[in-house]
A = this chain, B = another copy of it.
């Protein structure tokens, strides 16, 4: 098992080997799994642990009283729940597995002592949480200002970039296990309109999408369509400059 969280954090700044190992150790404490399309936490639950996605895709979502549903963010391998989530009285949203998901539940006190003793790691974790906030702001822009075509293009750019940061891209391709309904719930449009928008993007040669694999032949072109500026992800170091995944066993 590679430590994808460590890999992601190294995009912000280099980490000492001991920190990477401490992190890896903590993730191996308590491993759990969830079946596809099942909830991991429900709105109203009391949050106890910090969770880390090890494998599979999950979503945060909120429901309106009349059944409308909005996906509020995607949780990809290497993503954590908010570091301090246990401070809240109850969950104000739900977390659901899209695919089968493996995740670690990390004991609160272990994280706290780790942050106290390892300043570089602590710093990286805080940067990560600032990036999570930045992503949420960017979604606000996506839903508020962009057209259907731009929204989908932007979302694909973001997901590709985030997957790439944890080594889950291959050249110009990545997995894309989302149904058109999922895409609609994330971008605030109907599945029908998602369908037509995808066809448009395909027709223009901007994406290839089948068998749950997304290919982006010309990344710059898609970024332009989606007005995607990766600065908000704060990836300072290119992936090549970080510790190779093989060394982070």
A188 interfacial contact with B, CB 8 Å: yes
In the bound complex, do residue B87 and residue A145 qualify as a contact, i.e. CB atoms below 8 Å apart? no
In the bound complex, do residue B87 and residue A126 qualify as a contact, i.e. CB atoms below 8 Å apart? yes
In the bound complex, do residue B143 and residue A234 qualify as a contact, i.e. CB atoms below 8 Å apart? no
A30 interfacial contact with B, CB 8 Å: no
How many residues on chain A are close to B (CB under 8 Å)?
Answer: 46
**Which residues on the B side are within 8 Å of A68 (C-beta)?**
145
**Which residues on the B side are within 8 Å of A36 (C-beta)?**
none
Question: What residue in chain B is nearest A92 (Cβ atoms)?
Answer: B232
In the bound complex, do residue A143 and residue B227 qualify as a contact, i.e. CB atoms below 8 Å apart? no
In the bound complex, do residue A84 and residue B136 qualify as a contact, i.e. CB atoms below 8 Å apart? no
In the bound complex, do residue A137 and residue B72 qualify as a contact, i.e. CB atoms below 8 Å apart? yes
> Which listed residue, B69, B140, B234, touches A72 by the CB 8 Å rule?
B140
A181 interfacial contact with B, CB 8 Å: no
In the bound complex, do residue B187 and residue A144 qualify as a contact, i.e. CB atoms below 8 Å apart? yes
Q: Which of A127-135, A170-178, A202-210 contacts B (4 or more CB under 8 A)?
A: A127-135
Given A84-B126, A143-B188, 13 new contacts (CB under 8 A): A62-B137, A64-B141, A64-B145, A64-B227, A72-B140, A87-B127, A88-B130, A92-B137, A92-B234, A93-B134, A133-B136, A136-B140, A144-B187
- Sorted nearest first, the 6 A-B pairs with minimum C-beta distance are A144-B188, A143-B143, A92-B232, A136-B136, A70-B144, A70-B141
20 A-B pairs with CB atoms under 8 Å apart are A60-B137, A62-B141, A69-B145, A70-B141, A72-B141, A82-B133, A84-B126, A84-B127, A84-B129, A85-B130, A87-B127, A89-B234, A92-B234, A93-B232, A136-B136, A140-B143, A143-B143, A144-B186, A144-B188, A145-B188
